[in-house]
Amino acid sequence: MKTQLLPATSEALALAARLLTDGQLVAFPTETVYGLGAHAMDAQAVRGIFEAKGRPGDNPLIVHIHDRSQLDAICTVNDAAIRLMDAFWPGPLTIILPRKAAVPDAVTAGLDTVAVRMPSHPVALALLQACNLPIAAPSANRSGKPSPTSARHVFDDMDGRIPLILDGGESDVGLESTVISMVGERPCILRPGGVTQAMLEAVVGPVDLAGSILRPLEKGEKALSPGMMYKHYSPDGQVTLIEGSERAVVQALRRLHSHASGEGHRACVMCFTEHVEALRDCHPHDIGSKDDPTEVAHRLFATLRALDEEKMDVIFSEVVPPEGVGLAVMNRLGRAAAFRTVRAEDVE
Ligand code: AMP
Ligand code: MG
């Protein structure tokens, strides 16, 4: 299959809408990451997403809408969920609600719940309006790879697998949406993102955090959100996270890099802008300012992809405090590193 990569003009949007209506796949920009969309009520079309991504069938998809009236056919809403929609839609918040029967099992991975979101990216909204369909869309990467934050990333993963990629520039947030479940007794964040726990609590009161956000699932522990089970977001090289005081971390990064290169590895470091100069001999990748977790979120996936392009096999990374947007960053970075962490003070 030939894959077209087109700027999101009105002609390209019309073509995309036709393809989606016809049961085909289209990748499109959102404010979080690029999505790979299919007509959400067409089970055959939805199965195409799993095939193109190589995604396990038990990992459900998010249904994207442009108008709340579309929800009637998809899920049962409740008052607290409506307050969240009022506060954060359109935007990077996905809400888990009880599903309606018309939603194909392929979308929900057979669960009795469904994930819904109204994106704020103008191209995503224009596409949803043009086809006037609910669109099921996960991130447009091959399963296990970092999510795409540019059309080029999508092309690298999906060339030959889908007919059309709409180019709408770089994604703004850079990490996937916050996923909150509104089906239990208390709201629970299943996946942290740009909409933080504090922002959610200001609207609906106390919100729980799923246990596995900053650690792997324990043996026998049930995944609340199926995506949590898999190794995720990982580059080909081995990532190790370095924790500790600022000075000790910079020194440890230097030592670890020097050891690894001495052993013949293609080694590099992921560090804050403030440390690039001190680490200039360590092949530094600038992940943004240490005082700006939003910038780190914005750059993270593009950095992980650049490491693959440079064929790095050993990567040492700084970490951010796991608070606010930093929690979302550490949720992804932790999985990229398979939770391998070293204390800087312990590095000889
Ligand atoms: P992606 O944006 O590609 O990471 O895929 C959508 C993610 O939304 C999944 O990995 C799950 O974490 C989450 N999700 C979707 N539907 C549900 C659901 N019904 N219950 C829990 N989590 C869900
Ligand atoms: Mg994904």
CA distance 143 to 140: 9
| Residue among 94, 100, 143, 213 to mutate when testing ligand 1 (max atoms within 8 A of CB) | 94
The parts of the chain modelled with pLDDT lower than 50 are: none
Alpha carbon of 154 to ligand 2 centroid (Å): 12
Are residues 263 and 145 located together in one domain of the fold? no
DSSP class of 178 = E
Residue 47 lies in a domain: yes
Beta carbon of 284 within 6 Å of any ligand 1 atom = no
Distance 97 CA to ligand 1 centre (A): 12
Q: What CA–CA distance (Å, rounded) separates 290 from 293?
A: 7
Q: How many domains does the chain have?
A: 2
Helix (H, G, I), strand (E, B) or coil at 174: coil
Range of the structural domain that residue 56 is part of: 4-214
The answer to whether 190 touches 328, Cβ cutoff 8 Å, is no
Distance 296 CA to ligand 1 centre (A): 23
Q: Do residues 258 and 110 both lie within one domain? A: no
pLDDT for position 222: 67
Q: Does residue 163 share a domain with residue 78?
A: yes
Residue 276 main-chain phi, psi, to 5 deg: -60, -45
For residues 164 and 83, membership in a common domain is answered with yes
Q: Looking at ligand 1, which atom is closest to the CA of residue 94? A: 8
Whole-number Å distance, alpha carbon 141 to ligand 2 midpoint, is: 7
Identify whether 28 is part of a domain. yes
Residue with CA at minimum distance from ligand 1 atom 5:
138
- Is the CB of 176 within 6 Å of ligand 1? yes
Same domain, 64 and 209: yes
Q: Do 153 and 306 meet the contact criterion of CB atoms below 8 Å apart?
A: no
| Domain's final residue, options 214, 246, 263 | 214
Give CA–CA dist 193/175, Å, rounded.
Answer: 6
**Pocket-testing residue among 58, 225, 331, ligand 1, by greatest number of atoms within 8 A of Cβ:** 225
- Whether residues 29 and 112 fall in one domain: yes
CA distance 123 to 167: 9
DSSP string, 82-132: HHHHHHH-SSSEEEEEEBPTTS-HHHHTT-SEEEEE----HHHHHHHHHHT
Q: Does residue 230 form part of some domain? A: no
Considering every ligand atom shown, identify the ligand nearest to the alpha carbon of residue 119 and give its number.
1
Q: Is the dihedral of CA 263, 264, 270, 274 positive or negative?
A: positive
The answer to whether residues 311 and 178 belong to one domain is no
User: On the CB side of 258, how many CA atoms lie within 13 Å of its CA?
Assistant: 11
CATH classification of the domain holding 141: 3.90.870.10
Question: Does residue 221 belong to any structural domain of this protein?
Answer: no
Same domain for 137 and 276?
no
Q: Is residue 226 part of a domain?
A: no
Query: DSSP of 266-309, one letter per residue?
Result: -EEEEE-GGGTTTTGGG-EEE---TT-HHHHHHHHHHHHHHHHH
275 domain-assigned: yes
Asked if residues 96 and 183 have their Cβ atoms less than 8 Å apart, the reply is yes
Q: For position 153, what pLDDT does the model report? A: 97
Ligand 1 site, residue 59, Cβ cutoff 6 A: yes
Residues sharing a CB contact under 8 Å with residue 298, sequence separation 6 or more, in sequence order? 149, 172, 173, 174, 288
250: CATH: 3.40.50.11030
Confirm whether 244 is domain-assigned. yes
Q: How many helices (H) and strands (E) does the chain have?
A: 10, 16
Q: What's the pLDDT score for residue 227? A: 59
The residue to mutate among 25, 99, 116, 179, having the most atoms of ligand 1 within 8 angstroms of its beta carbon, is 179
pLDDT digit string, tens, across residues 34-57: 999 999 999 999 999 999 999 988
Q: Let me know whether 205 and 257 are in one domain.
A: no
Residue 154 sits in the same domain as residue 15: yes
Handedness of CA 303, 305, 308, 313 (dihedral sign): positive
- Can you tell me the distance from the alpha carbon of 188 to that of 166, in angstroms, rounded to the nearest whole number? 33
Count CB-CB contacts under 10 A for residue 205: 11
Locus of tokens 């036709």 = 18
Q: Is 190 in the pocket of ligand 1 (CB under 6 A)?
A: yes
pLDDT at 215: 82
Answer whether residue 229 is part of any domain. no
The minimum-distance atom of ligand 1 relative to the CA of 115 is: 16
CA of 312 to the centre of ligand 1 (A): 30
- If asked whether residues 185 and 244 sit together in one domain, one would say no
* 245 and 209 share one domain: no
Give the residue, out of 147, 190, 331, with the most ligand 1 atoms within 8 A of its beta carbon, to mutate for a pocket test: 190
